[in-house]
Structure 1
Amino acid sequence: MSAAWTYVCASEELLPGEMKTAFDDVTGAPIVVFNLDGELYALEDQCTHEEFELSSGSIDPVEGSIECVLHGARFDVRDGRALCAPAYTAVPKFPVKRENGGIWARDDRD
């Protein structure tokens, strides 16, 4: 397992209510990072219902959720859990940090 972090964007490029995407430098996993009221959360950028990118969907900053545009599955951006059908499996959550003026995330799965 690698401890390499992937640079996502400069801190000022990710404002509250916004999201940015990146690909893990080591595993190639798609990552989407959310800014929810100044707190950062990172999930795999893939709906667990039908392997479609979540970042194409819309974020609800009040509920703290992202909705997949394909079939309307919603996930909690804080922990990845599925909030409604047709998705029942949580989206993997990844570590995210602010460092050296940037936002970094990584796929920490074995």
Structure 2
Amino acid sequence: MTWVTACQLAEIEQEGAKRFDHEGRTYALYRAPDDSVYCTAGLCTHEAIHLADGLVMDYEVECPKHSGVFDYRTGEALRLPACENLKTYQVEVVDGEVRVAIG
């Protein structure tokens, strides 16, 4: 497992999302209401739309194209048309840096 620095914590708004690209793959980072940070695959499993552009409320992200909803903590698809779960990645915040475990 490799830890990759994605961004500074301050770059992600509370109850917001940020896109993170690394080695040809896209990820989405989310800052929860309690300030914890989560990471999922960056594209909706329904139609490959960037989830970081979606609406984040509480612990859910809504795809901006067809309104599929995921729990970003677990990747679970909660509302159609999304029916395939998102892959999730371990995250740590060290000295204000958000790091993601990839691989």
TM bin, normalised by shorter chain, reads 0.7 to 0.9
Task: Give the aligned residue type for 2:100.
Answer: A
State which structure, 1 or 2, has the greater radius of gyration over its C-alpha atoms.
1
Report which of the two has the higher share of strand: 2
> Percent identical across equivalent pairs?
25
Query: Any residues of structure 2 matched to 1:14-25 within 5 Å, and which?
Result: 14-25=12-23
Q: Secondary structure at the match of 1:42?
A: strand
Q: Secondary structure at the match of 1:83?
A: strand
Q: Which residue of the partner structure matches residue 73 of structure 2?
A: 78
Q: CA deviation at 1:105?
A: 1.2
Unaligned runs of 5+ in 2: none
1:43 and 1:70, CA in 2 relative to 1: closer, same or farther beyond 3 A? same
**Aligned length in residues:** 102
Which of 11-20 and 91-100 deviates more?
A: 11-20
Query: Any residues of structure 2 matched to 1:1-110 within 5 Å, and which?
Result: 3-25=1-23, 28-36=24-32, 37-61=34-58, 64-108=59-103
C-alpha distance in 2 between matches for 1:92 and 1:30:
12
1:38 and 1:57, CA in 2 relative to 1: closer, same or farther beyond 3 A? same
